[in-house]
Amino acid sequence: DLESPEEMEEEIPVVICAAAGRMGAAVAAISSIHSNTEASVLFYIVGLKTTIPHIRKWIENSKLKEIKFKVVEFNPMVLKGKIRQDASRPELLQPLNFVRFYLPLLIQKHEKVIYLDDDVIVQGDIQELYDTKLAPGHAAAFSDDCDLPSTHEMIRSVGMQNTYMGFLDYRKQAIRDLGISPSTCSFNPGVIVANMTEWKHQRITKQLEKWMQRNVEENLYSSTLGGGVATSPMLIVFHGKYSSINPMWHIRHLGWSPDARYSEQFLQEAKLLHWNGRYKPWDYPSVHTDLWENWFVPDPSGKFKLTRPDS
């Protein structure tokens, strides 16, 4: 007996980028999500023209061929004049870092969307994250950087940024004029649950672009320690206007230091792990790589290889 349309499972759209040199990251993230849910997930895999054929082949010629996915090309021309070249961490200027600013352009028919950074793996059921409640008038939900006591030790030990002062340059008038206290807790935009109707209604993309342009002219945040050129505009635009994601759905800083480790039990309970920072689990050195590698699907073309101490 066929289900009536009302009872049809709602599709969960998940946006993830496949960047050159890091495709194994996107693959592991996708594989972890797909393996841990019964829900119907539609993956929007965003790439640049040059990288798209590689990721498509990887999926179609591996055990991931059963996933539902759409490959979307991101045109970096939309960023022209909006990014200040920052020599200290060029990897943060990769065009795909800004895909999260343009969600409504990439995704048409969905009301609610999940965006994930490529350096995550999901151990929980993605349906749970998708069911995050957004308060009326909120275009997005993030997890707060002050939300989880168990990570505070970690933050202190590696000098992490968890306030606005770590991202915005408070010596600049434009930043002071925002009236946001520098000790305000920041949030991490590597995991986002977004409401597309509100996003368009509030013209979030336009607001983000405005702050990117102001930064090119006035250098409001690039040179700061946090380095997150894609984080700072979001901290400004969403200040005081976002809902919260359950902290277990964003256990982060696994990539901040090659030797800061979490307890195994804590990591078992985590629903989502994020290796934000320089030390990535497909490279060496990095921590808790076994948890990541568990979900990695080797590249059938052999182009992408894991860096390991014995390789």
pLDDT tens digit sequence for 205-246: 999 999 999 998 998 985 554 456 789 999 999 999 999 999
- What is the pLDDT averaged over residues 96-115? 95
Q: What is the pLDDT of residue 7?
A: 46
As a CATH number, domain 12-294 is 3.90.550.10
Tokens 């006035």 map to which residue? 218
- What is the pLDDT averaged over residues 194-208? 98
**Residues 130-149 pLDDT 10s:** 999 999 999 999 998 875 55
CB atoms within 10 A of CB 45: 24
Three-state SS at 63: helix
Query: For the chain, what are the domain ranges?
Result: 12-294
Q: Quick one: tokens of 64?
A: 């991931």
Position 6 confidence tier, pLDDT thresholds 50, 70, 90: very low
CB atoms within 10 A of CB 301: 10
Instruction: Name the CA radius of gyration of the chain, rounded.
Output: 19
Q: What is the pLDDT of residue 178?
A: 97
Three-class secondary structure assignment of 200-261: HHCCHHHHHHHHHHHHHHHCCCCCCCCCCCCHHHHHHHCCCCCEECCHHHCECCCCCCCCCC
CA angle 53, 51, 46 (to 5 degrees): 95
**For the chain, what is the mean pLDDT?**
89
Position 156 confidence tier, pLDDT thresholds 50, 70, 90: low
pTM for this model (two decimals): 0.92
Q: What is the pLDDT of residue 21?
A: 92
